[in-house]
Chain A
Amino acid sequence: MGLYQLGTFDFISIHGAYDRAQPPNIPRETVIPVIRAGVDGVGFIRAGVHSEPFQMRSVVDLASPSQVRTLIAGYRELVGKEAQTLIWGDLDYSTAFSTKYVVLDVQMLAVRLLSAACGGKNSGNVLAEAIWTLQPVPINLDPPEA
């Protein structure tokens, strides 16, 4: 298992689109404040566990340029599929926070041919970067009772 993984895709890294250190979002309780003219104080409605979509940027190397097409096709296949496990910094969010992620969109940002490379996931000299739009969803919810 890699340090950064989305579904079956292993990355060199996957990080916040704007801040590399930003961790993935997780669902939390939605609280709606309630106020009323003539009444002191504030009330709150617990409206359920919800989340907002957010973006992450992935980086991975490929062994050869011929693998780019397969990679892009594979990424696109994830869009609209069941929720995927996300491992970020060796932390499996499905077990740590009961959260998986539905891929809403994926766009390739860049595919670069490196003149020299070492390390990486595939010991390759092609670097592929993609930007993911993910929707966190809670898992392990109690099923609705009859």
Chain B
Amino acid sequence: MPIEEVATSTEGFYDVPRARIYISDKLTGDDWEFEPHLYLKRLRLAASPEVDSAEIEWDYARLTHPDDPEEVITENPFEGLQKFLKVQIEDTVDPGRNPITWYGVVEVDQRDVQGSTRDPTGRQTFIAWGLARLLERVTVDRSLVDYVDDEGGTHEVEIGVGLPFNVRERGFMVPDRGNRMHREAIESDGYLFADTADRSEEWNAEQAVEYLLENFPPKNLDGDTLIECVLHSHGEHLLDWYDITVPTDRRTVKDLLDEIINRRRGVGYWCDFDTDTLIVNVFSFLDKELELAAATASTERKVIGANEEQRRLNFERSFDIESAIVRNLSTTVYDVIHVEGERKTATATLDFADVERDRTTLEDVRKLGKYQFVPDWETAQETKYLKAGVADADYAGLDLVQKTERNAYIRSQDALAHVYARFKVHRDWNQHLDDPNIPFIRYSVFRKNDDETDPDTQWVWGLRIFPTTVFRQGVDYSGSKIADGLPEAASFVGPDGVKTERPFLPMILAVPIDSLEGTKWVNGERLNATASYEDGGGRWALSVRALHHAPVINISVTGGPQHFIALDQFSDPTSTLGVTSVGDVDERDNPETNHGLNFTAFKLTLSFEAQGYVTETVELDRKDAPRTRQKRELFIKLHDARADYVVPQTIVAIENGGQVVSESGGYVRDDRPRMKAIAKAASQWYGTERQTLALRFKQIRDFVHVGDLIVDVGETYNRQDVKTTVTAVSYDFSGDVPMTELETSYADLDFS
């Protein structure tokens, strides 16, 4: 992009310009009245969130004016409040340039009252604010919805609240946030809010700003539009690269523009007026385009645009410079950029084992690392469960019905509720899973990266189990579909035509049963619906839930006693626990007659939340920096970035009596490429020093504007690379010599 070189004057003589002030009751039209004796003291043009301002003076007394000393007149106080003001300043050095022209509205009348023995005497100072002030007085109290009726006719409907731009923050459970109509409005310009979810898309910042300016212009006392408002971007891809979540109800348009067009996105704006239109001018703080994401087959390249108005200041030989202060800031420099998302997850199918029963040899002890879910109850508690009322003194004298009643009561008390129900991940679990089909193939459940030889070993007791898995209902994850790349599956269109989010599946408890057709696998939670037996089917089922404080689950038997899933333990307790007499049960509670199961044959697919965050890191080249300097690390949090890994051979469904597995495993959601791009972009932004410039010179010149980017100052022998954007220009007429002052600033980009 071409960089214009500008310099203040180096000529020997130059004139001081005069500011002309005009007043009118109307902003548009030709009713501007020149007031030769209103004097400009100061004019400040500023970028958002500041508002431009002008300070004007008027003397009232019995006096003569400098331009007419032959007449003594009485000037009364000037009634300027709420009038529109126009200021014009000619460029006396380059008369070919357009004059500086500024519009505002007078809101403050400050009087330095000096007495009025004969004629009122004093000095008035008026403060006028720029036209952004008009937007500060427009409140969003309604929304315009693009409504399509049953016949396909379109209407604009107004509702009495300000709807938010995009419904919710981005996050794990929320696929669809957009509430913008998918096509432009028929009756007006730009987009409106959508009437139904299936016609909606997400708002980006540009669309939201256009909606506000089109539909919420300032109005006059009769309710008519005072001036039209439009958006003008000085550059490409300034507002279309990021989406937003912004509530609007009962907020002012200025407040919303300040939030949407924000320096942390690398953009700002200033307001301008042309004939009858207020123009919101958007500019970039970047000197070069910054790529956030490369183009893919399904997505476009994402960039933040560069500033189109770049200037190289050259005032090395100018007399009129009062001061030029360049500040170099290393406070915004970092050496390492980490982009962090949510906690990593891993989804796998784990087995169950009864360690006490299985351990017979030292070899078995060594194999402990393989054990996954193991009982979370004590042997003494299990013994008490099995024996139940046998130890009671009067037990022998009870009949069978009484005995079974007594035993059922004891077994159902809270102290024993976890026996045969609560299972924990073994503390020595080696965090690997063997391939069931291929010997010696082993998969790491937790991964630092895509290198299988570099597992991310967790502290087992610190793991947490999600209440659901990462699988969505209705999506096929079998075979190699995860590795091949799943289609967009976050929502579906229901029978009512409304787009609905696909729910996440709960944990999958795979249970083998001996059915009429031989050994089958069923989902434990639908045991009573899917199992088929000679006697017509089971009457009980299972429910699984995860506990919050540890990697522990609870499998509850519904419709029967808990020992229905401890068939071997209940039928043969002697071999391990030495329990010779088990409390009696009747047929209803006997696992042998109720298709009891062994929990050691269960398999559970669940999703773990690991102890680390999804992170992408970029380290900048600092090999030339002194090694004794502190390393500065920046952490950028991306709240919706996830990496959800599925271990190969994980059971993803139970269908037709068999297990459906993901043979390849892979990532059902992997935001790491996006995070890497953001880390790379952030490293470009935060890897270099930033500068600010404060320049004051003894002229009134218009060659640098708010929003321009200064790329350097000085000539070759005193060059300073400055990449800083002008955020305020002040014209000061208060001293002997009028001055121009430039202030610049930089953006603290937030890439989230």
Contacts and interface: CB of A to CB of B under 8 A. Distances in A.
Given A83-B64, A144-B20, A45 B737 contact: yes
Interface residues of B, number: 30
A87 interface: no
Given A46-B15, A47-B16, A32 B69 contact: no
Interface in A97-146: 100, 102, 137-139, 141, 143-146
Interface stretch (B76-84, B312-320, B400-408, B475-483): B312-320
Contact of B69 (A34, A43, A83): A83
A interface, over-half SS: loop
A125 to B, nearest CB: 36
A39 interface: yes
Interface in A27-74: 32, 34-36, 39, 41-48
B16 A48 contact: yes
A146 B321 CA distance: 31
Given A82-B64, A102-B69, A144-B67, A45 B14 contact: yes
A84 B319 CA distance: 40
Contacts of B317: 39
Contacts of A44: 12-14
Nearest to A99: B69
Contact of A144 (B18, B72, B737): B18
Nearest to B718: A38
Contacts of A82: 64, 69-72
Contacts of B171: none
A81 interface: yes
Nearest to A46: B15
B151 interface: no
A33 to B, nearest CB: 9
Given A44-B13, A45-B698, A102-B69, A34 B20 contact: no
Interface in B49-92: 62, 64, 66-72
A100 B64 CA distance: 13
Contacts of A102: 64, 69
Given A45-B14, A144-B18, A32 B71 contact: no
Nearest to A30: B736
Interface in B177-218: none
A146 B64 CA distance: 20
- Ordered nearest first, which 8 A-B pairs have the shortest CB separation? A43-B319, A146-B34, A137-B69, A144-B36, A83-B69, A34-B319, A82-B72, A44-B13
Interface of B: 10-16, 18, 20, 22, 34, 36, 62, 64, 66-72, 316-321, 698, 736-737
22 contacts: A34-B319, A36-B320, A39-B316, A39-B317, A39-B318, A41-B319, A42-B12, A43-B319, A43-B320, A44-B12, A45-B13, A45-B14, A46-B14, A46-B16, A82-B72, A83-B70, A138-B69, A143-B36, A143-B67, A144-B20, A144-B36, A146-B20
Interface of A: 32, 34-36, 39, 41-48, 80-83, 100, 102, 137-139, 141, 143-146
